[in-house]
Structure 1
Amino acid sequence: MRARRLAVAASVAVLAVSSLAACGRSAPDVAAYVGDMRYSVDRVAAIHDEAQTRYEESVRAAAKQSGAEPTPEQLRLKVEREDILNLLVGIDLGKRVVEEKQIQVKDQLTAEQLGQELGVPGTEYATLAAEWYDVYLALEAGLPGAEPTDDARETLYQALVDAGVAPAGWSVDEQRQNFAQAPFTRQVSAVSSALQDEVEKLDVTVNPRFGALAIPALLETESGFRQYNLPYVEGDSAVTDVTTPDPLPSVEPAEPTEPAGPADS
């Protein structure tokens, strides 16, 4: 897999796992519970902050070579803490599925490649980014396709619209017709169903400050791979009995410096 085409899809994370505390599944310092494991808010923030620092260093170094001064927007990493949690839980669940289904996961993208492409070399962010996309692509290739229901098709369609991949305004019939000609819809539906099955088995719950979980999925287009977020754990599956936290700092997306060279996945 060539890294540049996948760089546009980066929305990555790192695992932050510890034993489940006896206090129940509502601790405000826990971002998500997966079975008897928990992922801490602090860990999510630490991975994000490390990546943000390294990204800023990379942008400044590139700008210095041309004598330019980057704007605050250009210095901001194009990733939110919610995106990190998506990958954090996704890696956990995805690895469980590939083990259960005996699906082979190939090393298609290295952390070194992705770290350089994203301007975050040497970070856990880059390491887990590579791991997630290897797992995701293995699931797409290894699971038998599943025909989406109308509700699932609508959810997938809206995710593609939000990502700027599909035009808005398709009716249900138009969604059926267009998706019938797109084999990827069966593959991504299979991945979504498999992760949902794991959610039910493990009683996954999510801190409300992070909202719903979504799969950072990939779609190959004429201009390269595009990433879109497909929800698979809605808000009503989230942790509900938590104290109201302060809102997470918002990190607005920035236009990253365009990496050179050809690309593919």
Structure 2
Amino acid sequence: MRARRVIAAASVAALGVLSLTACGRSAPDVAAYVGDTTYSLERVDAIYADVQVKYGDAVRQQAAQAGASPSPEQLRSTVTRQDVVDLLVSLDLAKRVVKAKNVQVPDEITPQQLEDGLRVPATTEYAQLFAEWVDLSGVLSQQLPPADLSDDSMMAVYDALVEVEAIPAGMSPANVRQAFGDGGFVRSATALGVALGEEAGRVDVSINPRFRAVGVPSMVNKGQQVFVYSLPFIDEDGPVTDISTPEAVPSTGSPSAEGPAPDQGTAS
């Protein structure tokens, strides 16, 4: 697996996040440990299955109204178990950061507001958790200082967007920088990753090796289409720490690109 190391908080040691083979935190039925909280594979599977069933039902209903028969591929949501783990771990760490900062989090975003962008029914637990994440990450974006727009952080976001086919592959750093404009959404995602990575370094976090790097759940707009991507802040070695340290964190931005490029984004 190729994961660009974007989080550069030099003070973060890669000791807090270990594989599940260490320190007695190796139960094969556990997806992740975050401090004293355990997220079981059963919970991950349940959230994932809930998405797939309700998404499939919604597609069938729409197809029936149009007199069409959806294919098996059309009945399958793009949400993966990895996406579920990313969301659970990021949400847990964000709650800890917010609590440490003694910041109030307003309940503003509803699952219904995210339904079209996520392409997931609002009644799913995944959509409900994502709405909570958007509220939390939005508050953190206001509290954290803006991150530097380094080539490393910019290209890390670019690679993540290429993976979800939100932007053409093969662009140079100079062209990516031009496409991203002021790079507000890059600063946001990077800064959130820094904050969550620092928190992961403070608590005992362990990730089941069946899952790849854990990332910040992020969304970016490209015209009328919303792309959901993940910016890794934890990999198999621990919090990602091998890039020049940014001064800090997020906001939203409006890239204008060479070729189709995201035109607006957030780290939520």
TM-score normalised by length of structure 2: 0.71
Instruction: Report which of the two has the higher share of helix.
Output: 1
State the distance in 2 between where 1:140 and 1:198 align: 15
The AA in structure 1 aligned to 2:33 is Y
The AA in structure 2 aligned to 1:72 is P
SS at match of 2:237: helix
Partner of 1:219: 220
CA shift, 1:38, in A, is 1.2
Partner of 1:192: 193
1:109-148 equivalent positions in 2, closer than 5 A: 109-114=109-114, 118=119, 120-148=121-149
* Count of residue correspondences: 218
Partner of 2:204: 203
Distance 1:116 1:160, change over 3 A: closer
Partner of 1:250: none
| Deviates most, 114-123 or 149-158 | 114-123
Q: Deviations over 1:138-161 (max 9, x none)?
A: 222332111155543432231132
SS at match of 2:48: helix
Task: Indicate yes or no: 2:234 matched with 1:233.
Answer: yes
TM-score normalised by length of structure 1: 0.72
State the distance in 1 between where 2:42 and 2:230 align: 23
The AA in structure 1 aligned to 2:204 is D
Distance 1:221 1:102, change over 3 A: farther
SS at match of 1:51: helix
CA shift, 1:103, in A, is 3.9
SS at match of 1:25: coil
Distance 1:161 1:50, change over 3 A: closer
The AA in structure 1 aligned to 2:157 is L
Partner of 1:11: none
Distance 1:50 1:218, change over 3 A: closer
Partner of 1:100: 100
Q: Is the 8 A contact 2:157 2:231 kept in 1?
A: yes
Distance 1:127 1:94, change over 3 A: same
Partner of 2:63: 63
CA shift, 1:172, in A, is 4.5
SS at match of 1:38: strand
Q: CA RMSD in A?
A: 2.8
Structure 2 portions without partners, runs of 5+:
1-22, 240-264
State the distance in 2 between where 1:224 and 1:106 align: 27
Distance 1:24 1:153, change over 3 A: same
Q: Is the 8 A contact 1:115 1:122 kept in 2?
A: no
| Deviates most, 179-188 or 212-221 | 179-188
Distance 1:131 1:148, change over 3 A: same
Task: Indicate yes or no: 2:12 matched with 1:34.
Answer: no
CA shift, 1:43, in A, is 0.7
SS at match of 1:217: strand
| Deviates most, 194-203 or 47-56 | 47-56
SS at match of 2:140: helix
Distance 1:207 1:145, change over 3 A: same
SS at match of 1:208: coil
CA shift, 1:224, in A, is 5.1
Q: Deviations over 1:41-62 (max 9, x none)?
A: 0110011112211221111112
Partner of 1:7: none
Task: Indicate yes or no: 2:23 matched with 1:53.
Answer: no
